[in-house]
Structure 1
Amino acid sequence: MYCRIDGNDDVAMSGQRPIRYVCTSSVREDLVCELGEMSRTTGELLDALDASESAVYDALSNLEKKGLVDSHRDGWSLTGGGQLVADALGRIRDTESLLADDEDYWNDHDTRVLPQVYRCRLPELGDYEILRARESDLNRQVRHIASRIDAVEACDIVSPVYHEAYGDAMPDHEDARLVLSTDLVEGPSPERHPHSSWESTAVRIADVPFALGVSDEWTILTLPERNGQWARATLVSEDDSAIQWGRGLFETVWADATSPEQSHFVD
C-alpha cells in the first residue's frame, strides 16, 4: 500500500490526501477501521489496538486535526469524511482477504471480463472453494458443476462454452433461465447446443466471456485464464452474500441478452 510512518507526523499530515494519510500509519488505519463500526471511548480504543498509549493519543489528535474524527463527551466518532475513508479501507481489507485465500487463482485468471461494479464487489463471494481439474481427471470440474446443477429444481446459468454434461443437467423449469453464448447459437455448428432443448426454461443469447451459475444454494463462477485459454478452475461459494452477488450479475447479463428469435440464428 503506502510506506507507514507511525508517531507524530504533522509535516506528513499537511496537504496529504485523507486515505493516503490514514494508510501511512498502522495506528491511524486501525483507529479509523475500529471507529467505522461505532463510536468508542478512549479506553475501548486503547484496549482494541495493539499500540502504545502515546501512539494512540497522537494518532487520535492528528486524525482530529485532519477532520476525520470528532471527540465528544462519550468518546470518539468518525466525521462524514472519516466514515468514507473507513468504508474504503474496509473494501481494501476485504479485497486483500479475497486474494490471500488463493493468490494463484486470481493472478492466473482474467477478472477484467466482469463488469467493473461486480469486479469491485468480488469480496462479497465470502468463503469460496476453487475446484481445479487434474491431469489425471480433466473432467472433475465438469462433473462437479453438472452434479450441482442437476441437484436443484431451478437455477440461472450463463454458458459461454458447450459441454453435453451441462446441457443434460440444466433443469427444464419455468423458474430457470439460461444465457447462451452467441457463438454457440450462431456458430458453424449451432445444433450442438440447440436453444429449443428446453420447453419451460427461458433462453436468451449474449456475448459472454465468463460462465456463471446461481441457485438458492450456490454461486459458481468460471473466469477465463489470462493466457486466453478456457479455465480449468472454477470458483464455488455457498455464502448468502455470494448468491446475492451472483444474482445481481446474472440480471445484468440477462437484461443485455436477446431472445433466440431476435438473433441471426435460423432453425
Structure 2
Amino acid sequence: MKSSLTDNVWLSEKRTNLLLLLMEGPRDIEQIKMSLNVTSRGMMPQIKKLKEKHLIIEDGDYYKLSNIGELIVKNMLPLINTLSMISDNRNYWEEHDITILPPHLFKRLHELGNYLLLEPDLHHTFEIPKEFTENLLKSKEIKSIISFYRPEYPKFYSELAEKANSLTLILSEAAFKRMKNNCMKELEYLLSAKNSRVLVYKGKARPPAIDVSEWFMYISFFNKNGSYDHNDIMSFDESALQWGSELFDHYCEQSVEIKDVDQVEVEL
C-alpha cells in the first residue's frame, strides 16, 4: 500500500525533525547527523522516503526542502508549536479561559513562543511578582491593561509614567472606579502626565490583564470561573511582543480615552 504525504510527514519523528531542520536551510549529512543526533544508517532510509515523495531534494552534498516541502513545513509549524505550547503546561491551558481572545489571535496563541509560566510563591501569593515589576520598570514603551485591581497598582503605574517614554493604560470599569474612589492623587497624575494615556474599557467581555513593552510581554488569563489565580505568562520572543501588541490594540479599539476623572460617567 502506498504511503501518503501525511504518513511520510507525521509517522516518523526522524522525518518530521529533518523537515523542520531543513526549514532553517540546506544541510549536508554530517550536519544532519550532528543536529538530530542520528547515524547515517538510521537517517538515510528516511531521506530516501522524503526524496521519493518530492519533499526534499539533493543539491550536490546538501539536502534542502523542495517547493512542496517548504509549503508543507510552513503550514506544519503552527500546529507543532501549538502542541508544544499546550503539552508543556497542559493543566494551565485547560483551566484558563482563552476563548475570550479574538479569533484571529486565538489561533495564533502559539506565537507566545518560549514563554514562562510563573506560578505564585505560597509565601508571597498576593504580592506583585518581581518578574513583572522588574521588567516593566526597565521598559520605555509600555501598553497595559488592568483588568483587576491591586492596591499597589496606582503607585506602581504612576512610577512607570515617570520613567517610561510612553505609557498607554487601559482600565476596566471596576478598576477605574476603585482608583477614583481610593487613589485619586495617582489617577490624576496618570491623567496629567505628558507621556501617558488613560482609557476605560467599554467592551462586553472582560479582557485578560496584559502588559507589553519593547522587549517583554506579560499576560494574566482568568480561570474558567472568572477569577484570577496568580498564574501568569511571560515571554520575551519577538512573536509574543507582536501578538501582545495586536491583542492590546484590539481592546484599545473598544476603549474610551479619559482626560480628567469627571469626563465620563462609568456605569458599573
Name 2:172's counterpart in structure 1: 181
1:232-247 aligned at under 5 Å gives the runs 232-239=230-237, 241-247=239-245
Describe the SS at the equivalent of 1:247: helix
- 2:208 is equivalent to residue 219 of structure 1: no
Give the structure-2-normalised TM-score: 0.73
- Whether 2:116 is the aligned partner of 1:128: answer yes
Alpha-carbon contact 1:132-1:233 (below 8 Å) kept: yes
State the Cα deviation string for residues 145-182 of structure 1 (Å, max 9, x = none). 46665665662111112223212211346721011224
| CA 198–102 in structure 1, closer or farther in 2 if over 3 Å, else same | same
Q: Say if 1:159 and 1:212, in contact at 8 Å, map to a contact too.
A: yes
Q: Which structure 1 segments of 5+ residues have no match?
A: 1-10
Query: Compared with structure 1, are the counterparts of its residues 129 and 27 closer, same or farther at alpha carbon in structure 2 (3 Å cutoff)?
Result: closer
Asked if structure 2 preserves the Cα contact closer than 8 Å seen for 1:141 and 1:233, the reply is no
How big is each residue's C-alpha offset from its partner over 1:161-205, in whole Å with a ceiling of 9 and x where there is no partner? 2223212211346721011224545x7997468775521321223
CA contact (8 A) 1:133 1:232 kept: no
Q: CA RMSD in A?
A: 3.6
CA distance 1:45–1:251, shift in 2 (3 Å): same
What is the alpha-carbon distance in structure 2 between the residues aligned to residue 252 and residue 101 of structure 1? 28
Q: Mapping of 1:7-156 within 5 angstroms?
A: 11-13=1-3, 16=4, 18-19=5-6, 21-51=8-38, 53=40, 55-119=42-106, 120-132=108-120, 134=122, 136-141=123-128, 145=132, 149=136, 155-156=142-143
User: What one-letter code is carried by the residue in structure 1 that aligns with 2:200?
Assistant: I
Partner residue, 1:252: 250
**Counterpart position of 1:7:** none
Equivalenced residue count is: 250
- Determine the C-alpha separation between the residues in 1 that align with 2:38 and 2:12: 11
Amino acid at match of 1:98: M
Counterpart for residue 8 of structure 1 = none
Greater Cα offset, 188-197 or 249-258: 188-197
Q: Distance in 1 between matches of 2:136 and 2:32?
A: 48
What SS class does the counterpart of residue 110 from structure 1 fall into?
coil
**Which residue of 1 is the match for residue 149 of structure 2?**
162
Q: Is the 8 A contact 1:132 1:141 kept in 2?
A: no
CA contact (8 A) 1:211 1:221 kept: yes
Distance in 1 between the 2:253 and 2:10 partners? 39
- Residue 128 of structure 1 aligns with an amino acid whose one-letter code is L
Distance change in 2, residues 1:138/1:76 (3 Å): closer
Hey, what does 2:199 align to over in structure 1?
Answer: 204
Tell me, in whole angstroms, the C-alpha distance in 2 between the residues paired with 1:86 and 1:216: 30
TM-score normalised by structure 1 residue count? 0.73
On the 8 A contact 1:128/1:236 being kept in 2, the answer is yes
Give the structure, 1 or 2, with the largest relative contact order (CA under 8 Å, sep 6 or more). Answer: 2
Deviation at 1:258, TM superposition (A): 3.1
